[in-house]
Chain A
Amino acid sequence: MKRPPSWFWVVAAIVGALLFVVVGFFLLRPYQYHGLLLESPKPAADFTLVGAGGKEVKLSDYRGKLVVLYYGYTFCPDVCPTTLAEVTKAVQALGKKAEDVQVIMVTVDPERDTPERMAEYMAYFNPSFVGLSGTPDQIAEAATPFGIYYQKHEGTPASGYLVDHTATVNVLDREGRMRLVWPFGTEGDAMAADLKQMLK
């Protein structure tokens, strides 16, 4: 059999090296978050709200865990249960690592959402999830720094009033710094992948 000429090996080596670089780049490239990653490592504004049994709960109580922070309300007909179902899926996908993640929903409807009602509602998704309520002033102070808008508006006689609100989900790192924003519609798998990366 005729040996390939020497230039063949040179070309093969160059093509091989280029392939190696391309494959290596794809394998070693930095993780791309599905959410929007904030670059400023400042601690998020702390807040004090009320949890189950009237217990005072601070956001900073959860330092050391990733906090998935969502704002919604228990009478919410569509957006909140859909988002919480995706968050639940993400937490389930984490398996044992879920112990290092705390999901919190702060109500934007403190009039109807008592701390007990919040706790009951959140437990329906996952017993580890925390629901928080408080006075209208406390809620406003807890919502503003996280870019959350909310406002009551008329619903139907069956639904009662509704509350328009920002539907993004925020993620804080273990040091309590606001790091990631998931726009509405982010799927559970994508959330799980982002959380796994943040837990590394």
Chain B
Amino acid sequence: MTERGEPRQRKIHWEWVAAGVVLLAILSVVAFAVFQPIKVLPRIRLAPGFILTDQDGQRLTNEDLRGKIALYNFSYANCGAQCEPLNATLRTVQDQLAQATGEGVPVELVTISFDPERDTPEALQAYAQAAGADPSRWRFATGDPARMKNIIGGGFEAYYEPDDRGGFKFSPAFALVDGWGIIRAEYRNEVPTPERILKHIEVIQEEARNSKGVAKMGYEAAHLFLCYAQ
């Protein structure tokens, strides 16, 4: 109080207010980057374009899978025991997806054979049955022999090479592609657990569901700050 009984007016230090606001803004950005409230999967690169023929003799192209999430892997019908763990993983993913009731982007599994000479639709049909594939969710396909290296090796960057015993040398490779045809996760030189794949599918589903309006800004920030799901 002043001598005259009037309240003394406090001077507002605007420079401190401005510094506080800037600090708050920096802290919010750092907090977003550290706590990562939104998780996403990176948009890695474009999945290749292709025309294949599936186990029913039906055409399967990358455009047919636009608007769906597609989980790809690469093997061949005469693969034998080497491919069993790959197929077991896909079978579990397939079965878990069948049990999920939530609405979302449809998911399809696609095994592309790098042995088009021998893998006729009939051979792929038998392979699909042996793998326990549900034809409505999991398709087996191959295409023009001259194009397969470009699609599998070039586009999906999965290694395979004929060996001298009539089979193939290859590294296990899986790719998860979103509805825009963009690769969002790759699992190479290892067989991923079905839980990890299912978690990644859910992350893509969530982004497709929620990344709209103001929330889209949050998702784009998550891409910018590399808030990637493990």
Contact A151 B61 (CB under 8 A): yes
Closest to B61 in A: A149
In chain A, positions 28-42 with a C-beta closer than 8 Å to chain B are 28-30, 32, 36-40, 42
Report the tally of A-B residue pairs with Cβ distances under 8 A.
Answer: 102
CA distance A13 to B226 in the complex (A): 35
Residues on A with C-beta less than 8 A from B135 are: none
Residues on B with C-beta less than 8 A from A143 are: 49
Residues on A with C-beta less than 8 A from B51 are: 149, 151
Judge whether A85 is part of the interface by a CB distance below 8 angstroms.
no
Judge whether A77 is part of the interface by a CB distance below 8 angstroms.
no
* Secondary structure type dominating chain B contacts: mixed
Contact A145 B48 (CB under 8 A): yes
Considering residues A16, A29, A148, A183, which has the most beta carbons from chain B within 10 angstroms of its beta carbon? A148
Contact B12 A147 (CB under 8 A): no
Interface size class for chain B?
35 or more
In chain A, positions 97-140 with a C-beta closer than 8 Å to chain B are 137, 140
Contact B49 A6 (CB under 8 A): no
Residues on B with C-beta less than 8 A from A13 are: 12, 17
Closest to B219 in A: A32
Interface 9-mer from B19-27, B75-83, B106-114, B191-199: B19-27
Contact A32 B217 (CB under 8 A): yes
CA distance A197 to B50 in the complex (A): 32
Closest to A151 in B: B51
Contact A21 B61 (CB under 8 A): no
CA distance A189 to B113 in the complex (A): 43
Residues of B within 8 A of A (CB): 6-7, 9-10, 12, 17, 20-21, 24-25, 28, 42-51, 61-63, 146-147, 150-151, 154-155, 180-182, 216-217, 220-221, 223-224, 226
